[in-house]
Amino acid sequence: MEIWEMTALALGQSIRAGKISSEEAVKACLERAKQVETDVHAFVHLDGERAIQAARAADRGIREGRYDSPLAGVPVAVKDNLCTEGMPTTCCSRILEQFVPPYTAEAVKRLTDAGAVILGKTNMDEFAMGSTTETSCFGPTKNPWDVSRAPGGSSGGSCAAVAAGECAAALGSDTGGSIRQPASWCGVTGIKPTYGAVSRYGLIAYGSSLDQVGPIGRDTADCAALLGLLVGRDPKDATSAVPGAHQSMDSFLKYAPTSSETGEAGGEVAARGLRVGIPEAFLGEGTEPGVQAAIREAAERLKAMGATVEPCSLGLEEYVIPAYYVIASAEASSNLERFDGVKYGFRADQEESDLHGMYKRSRSQGFGPEVKRRILLGTFVLSAGYYDAYYLKALKVRALVRQAFDRVFERYDVLLAPAAPSTAVPLGESLADPLKMYLGDIDTVAVNLAGLPGLSLPWGLDGQGLPVGLQLMGNRFREDLVFRAAFACEAARGPWKEVWKREGGISDGKTV
Amino acid sequence: MAKQYETVIGLEVHVELATRTKIFCGCSTRFGAKPNTQTCPVCAGFPGALPVLNKKVLEYALSAGLALNCEVNRYSRFDRKNYFYPDNPQNYQISQLYLPICHDGWVEIDTGAGKKKIRIHEIHMEEDAGKLIHDEWGECSLVDFNRSGVPLIEIVSEPDMRSADEVIAYLEKLRDILQYLKVSDCKLQEGSMRADVNLSVREVGSETFGVRTEMKNLNSFKAIAHAVEGERERQIELLEEGKAVLQETRRWDENKESSRPMRSKEDAKDYRYFPDPDLPPVTVSEEWLNKLRESRPMLREERKQVFAEQYGLTEYDASVLTASVHMAALFEETAKRCGNGRRAAAWLMGEAMRLMKEDGLEPSELSLSPENLARLIRLEEEGRITPHSAKRVFAAMVREGADPDHYIEENGLAVVRDEAALEEAVRQVLAANPGSVEEFRGGKEKVFSFLMGQVMRQMKGKADAGQVREMLQAHLGQTEKKL
């Protein structure tokens, strides 16, 4: 097996055991990236020299026994909306081009403190606004399973990089599905944690009350280990949860397969007695048959392994998309005000000398159309006379969605649903119809509105050979149950066939 | 007959809180540092940075609210006020609109016609903006974010004031209370207390309010008084000419003693307030409020009473000493230590204020330790230093931070109590001035003070005057007998 094919935990173990150095691991990923980046374009900033230096430092640290984490020395990629000191952080927006932050995001710092090595920054929809990574000012990332298709978004770069073997794992962010949906389309595993579980300090905000940083990996165990490093109170983020609310990496990994218990036998321990609800509305009209079939198949397998599986209903499904877009856009319209050409990032050439002219030109030229659309929408819903009708009403829907989940989680440990109504769409398709793109978030936004954890893992391939994911939703700070269910699903599914194991690999995608 | 007009005034007072660090980050709030040296990603509005509330700010806001008889919102929130301006790095100010921390309070002021209650509409917490420095030579503007994120409370009154005198009385009252609570130093010149005046006029007897204007850029009580008078006259003039008063914000120019409308923003103001999602709601427990109520320091009125009763000061003296919280504290500490309140008051109201005036110091800038002053008073009482020397010592204490004992020793100012030396001096003076002794005996009593002076000179001014008098009298009597 090539080094770059290994999971993060397996790689970490080999590095700790001295079989592989971090430097070798990093070089293997860089080499792999060299092969596939022209097709995939997952990275927007890749500094090999810096990564190798960091890997050497990690190797020294490991020899000196400075790390006790299972991921020391492992190469990871970071979404370009997480600040990295001394490394460009642009949100893939022209308005932040060449912005180099003076500090590092808490989530990134927790990874590097554990010895992980940052390879570079990954592509994303501009300011995380989009579902295909096509609104990036650097051009789209392509789906490694079919490079004529989108990887999903907005964490499309991170998910594609993991899927293509360019890094062992990655960080993404999820405001309305931006980890789960691209994970589903790229055939990787990703989790949006409970709101407040991971510090948002240094995450460039889109919708502050919805944003969460989360890990993306090749399997559930990698995500569980990474999340174990990320969670915990951060005094720099007032919305981070109080100490005590957080769970440990051990609780996340409790049902991880061991060598003696693999496959369905191991999964049965995790599945037995698990109460699984299937919100029927998530399988309704507009969901592709291939996606529906995957969910029903997974449900049957879980049942066979000893879980109780029942249909359930949340209600309110028709309100979640509008409520989400009102709240996220309102917050975004304010969060993005600081990008004005005055302090950092892009400033338009000054034809007009007055201040407001400079603002207008810089913002007009600096932001792309989707970002402008959401700023306009958000500005509108917060305007005098509309605040009550839109923003306050959306907050009421949000409160009701929370209550609905609270009721459902009295009866179920997890909910099983799709992470997206379709598999990967052809490039260009969703840009032509923004409303359709917004409606594609139907399966993911409810979790963000309610602040719950949601995980997406690959289940199989649809008729076109594209990955189909499962989404598992849990109650607040019950990531342990979400991971337990994910381990059960993995066991029921069997080993995942990575894209490079497929005949033809990535470059063959066009012909599938 | 000319119409009679009434002025209706409400105030928005911004007070900078005296916390050591800013409202949402750990940067220092010190005044006067080099530009942009007290900044971080949070107060400079960097992408990804997040605000975290400084609990001291909340405590100070609550203390102020309780002292101003307000109701406290036990569940309060921060809101974003969105507007583009370069002094505001996020282009929104974190403030409170929907659920401010305190509301519905009042203070009592003294007016010519007796006491009057001024109602307080609300108190809210917010962050200050940075400072723009316009470089006229470089044709550019520079921003200093040191002040960005300095905590403020805004105290909004009801339109209950009717004259400049009432406005000043209200502001002085607020300043007294906030200074005594130690939540702010309330310096108008440094901008730590700023007042915007909302003013309208109406015919006496009218029930409805006229159209009001808001006056900004008022940097002193004098400017505020001038602005109130000026704006009243301007509005009356408009009404008399049959013109309408426009609702607008105006900027006062104290040099010209006139105002002009501020350049109106291009679009109508819509701040699009909404709850800041980065800051969880603020909850205040009853226990905490009780603790704050119990630990409230004495305010000026109470302090005045204590000074009169405990230290025997006149009402006037008590009032002068309590005008500044620093002076009051200095007095009380000194009086406690030396047990002589009147003497302490005499020093502070006399020499201290004279020196402050000479050196152009504020009471808060007076570096005089109560220990040293108490010691000086004790030395004076024990007659170990003459009043003349005491003033010298006092000045050294104020200007050089001198220790009284050291200073007296180093400069040889101690009163000489050596009877033998004094007796010798008296003998020498009498022997050297037989003519004067003769004259004294002849009934010329004036000569006595001449002889006193001679003895004092002989003693280099360090003898106790009473003792000199006694001994001189005794010796003159003796000589008489002898002769």
Rounded CA separation A144/A35 (Å): 12
Rounded CA separation A19/A11 (Å): 9
For chain A, what percent of residues have pLDDT higher than 90?
Answer: 87
B302: enclosing H helix or E strand: helix B300-311
CATH of domain B419-482: 1.10.10.410
**B249 close contact with A: CB closer than 8 A:** no
The answer, yes or no, to whether residue B446 has pLDDT greater than 90, is no
Average pLDDT over residues A152-160: 97
Rounded CA separation B150/B128 (Å): 5
With contact defined as beta carbons under 8 Å apart, do A434 and A373 qualify?
A: yes
* B:260-319 residues touching chain A, CB 8 A cutoff: 266, 270, 272-274, 277-280
The mean pLDDT value of chain A amounts to 94
End-to-end CA distance of chain B: 93
A239 and B52: CB-CB below 8 Å? Answer: no
Tell me, yes or no, whether A351 lies in a domain.
no
Rounded CA separation A372/A380 (Å): 12
Rounded CA separation B300/B321 (Å): 10
Average pLDDT over residues A214-241: 97
Average pLDDT over residues A125-148: 97
**DSSP states of B333-370:** HHHHHHS-HHHHHHHIIIIIHHHHHHHT--GGG----H
pLDDT number for residue B265: 46
pLDDT number for residue B268: 57
Q: Which chain B residue is nearest to residue A337, measuring alpha carbons?
A: B91
Rounded CA separation B309/A247 (Å): 62
The answer, yes or no, to whether residue A108 has pLDDT greater than 80, is yes
Nearest to B155 by CA among B300, B11, B282: B11
Tell me, yes or no, whether A480 lies in a domain.
yes
> Domain coordinates of chain B in residue numbers?
5-287, 298-410, 419-482
The answer, yes or no, to whether residue B365 has pLDDT greater than 60, is yes
> Of all residues in chain B, what percent are helix, strand and coil, respectively (each to 5)?
40, 20, 40
What backbone phi and psi angles, to 5 degrees, belong to B473? -60, -45
**DSSP states of A425-453:** PBTTTTTT-HHHHHHGGGGTHHHHHHT--
B45 and A236: CB-CB below 8 Å? Answer: no
- The residue assigned the tokens 């499904």 is A317
Find the CATH number of the domain harbouring A427: 3.90.1300.10
Tell me, yes or no, whether A373 lies in a domain.
no
Non-local (6+) Cβ contacts of A483 within 8 A are A220, A223, A224, A252, A253, A254, A255, A455
Confidence of residue A297 (pLDDT cuts 50, 70, 90): very high
Give the torsion sign (CA, B236, B238, B239, B241).
positive
- The pairing of strands A308-312 and A414-417 is unpaired
pLDDT number for residue B85: 93
ipTM surpassing 0.90:
yes
For chain A, what percent of residues have pLDDT higher than 70?
Answer: 97
Non-local (6+) Cβ contacts of B220 within 8 A are B188, B189, B254
Of residues B278 and B436, more confidently modeled:
B278
Residue-wise burial string across A170-192, b where 16 or more C-beta atoms lie within 10 A, e elsewhere: bbbbbbbbbbbbbbbbbbbbbbb
- The pairing of strands B114-127 and B151-157 is antiparallel
| SS3 track for A191-260 | EECCCCCECCCCECCCCCCCCEEEEEECCHHHHHHHHHHHECCCCCCCCCCCCCCCCCHHHHCCCCCCCC
Two structure tokens written together for B346: 């005499």
pLDDT number for residue B456: 84
pLDDT number for residue A508: 44
With contact defined as beta carbons under 8 Å apart, do A359 and A366 qualify?
A: no
Q: Helix, strand, or coil here: B79?
A: strand
Rounded CA separation B26/B285 (Å): 25
Non-local (6+) Cβ contacts of A263 within 8 A are A257, A491, A494
pLDDT number for residue B481: 47
Q: In what order do the strands lie in the sheet with B274-275?
A: B92-95, B79-82, B274-275
A202 and B91: CB-CB below 8 Å? Answer: no
Residues in chain A within 8 Å Cβ distance of B277 = 207-209, 239, 331
Tell me, yes or no, whether A109 lies in a domain.
yes
The answer, yes or no, to whether residue A510 has pLDDT greater than 50, is no
The answer, yes or no, to whether residue B440 has pLDDT greater than 70, is yes
Residues in chain B within 8 Å Cβ distance of A99 = 47
Least confident of A423-427, A432-436, A475-479, B255-259: A432-436
Confidence of residue A261 (pLDDT cuts 50, 70, 90): low
With contact defined as beta carbons under 8 Å apart, do A188 and A458 qualify?
A: yes
**DSSP states of B385-401:** S-HHHHHHHHHHHHHH-
Residues in chain A within 8 Å Cβ distance of B49 = 103, 201-202
Q: Which chain A residue is nearest to residue B282, measuring alpha carbons?
A: A238
Rounded CA separation B90/A180 (Å): 30
Two structure tokens written together for B200: 């309208």
pLDDT number for residue B267: 46
Bridge partners of B152? B16, B126
A→B interface, C-beta within 8 Å: 81-83, 89, 91, 96, 99, 101-103, 105, 200-205, 207-209, 235-239, 330-331, 333-334, 337-340, 342-344, 355-356, 359, 379, 382-384, 387, 391
CA distance A110 to chain B (A): 16
Confidence of residue A431 (pLDDT cuts 50, 70, 90): confident
Domain count, chain A: 1
With contact defined as beta carbons under 8 Å apart, do A59 and A22 qualify?
A: yes
Two structure tokens written together for B315: 């009402």
CA distance A382 to chain B (A): 5
Two structure tokens written together for A420: 């997206």
The mean pLDDT value of chain B amounts to 91
pLDDT number for residue B478: 61
A201 and B47: CB-CB below 8 Å? Answer: no
Residues in chain B within 8 Å Cβ distance of A205 = 47-48, 278
CA distance B374 to chain A (A): 47
End-to-end CA distance of chain A: 25
What amino acid is encoded at A471 in this protein?
Q
Burial bucket for residue A140 (CB in 10 Å: 0-12, 13-18, 19+): buried
The answer, yes or no, to whether residue A64 has pLDDT greater than 50, is yes
Average pLDDT over residues B49-67: 98
Two structure tokens written together for B2: 């000319």
pLDDT number for residue B482: 45
Rounded CA separation B58/B39 (Å): 21
B47 and A333: CB-CB below 8 Å? Answer: no
- Please name the member of A239, A343, A391 whose beta carbon is closest to the beta carbon of B280: A239
With contact defined as beta carbons under 8 Å apart, do B96 and B78 qualify?
A: yes
A337 and B278: CB-CB below 8 Å? Answer: no
Rounded CA separation B130/B251 (Å): 19
B46 and A103: CB-CB below 8 Å? Answer: yes
Bridge partners of B247? none
pLDDT digits 0-9 by tens, B386-429: 888 899 999 999 999 899 999 998 888 888 777 888 888 888 88
Average pLDDT over residues A48-76: 97
B428: enclosing H helix or E strand: helix B419-432
> Rg (Cα) of chain B, in Å, rounded?
31
Q: In what order do the strands lie in the sheet with B258-261?
A: B71-72, B102-111, B114-127, B151-157, B5-16, B193-203, B213-216, B249-253, B258-261
Non-local (6+) Cβ contacts of B247 within 8 A are B211, B212, B213
- Please name the member of A238, A334, A343 whose beta carbon is closest to the beta carbon of B45: A343
Average pLDDT over residues B86-105: 97
With contact defined as beta carbons under 8 Å apart, do A287 and A439 qualify?
A: no
The answer, yes or no, to whether residue A509 has pLDDT greater than 50, is no
pTM of the model: 0.90
- Could you tell me where the DSSP H helices lie in B189-246? 221-240
Structural domain including A13 reads 3-317+399-511
> Rg (Cα) of chain A, in Å, rounded?
21
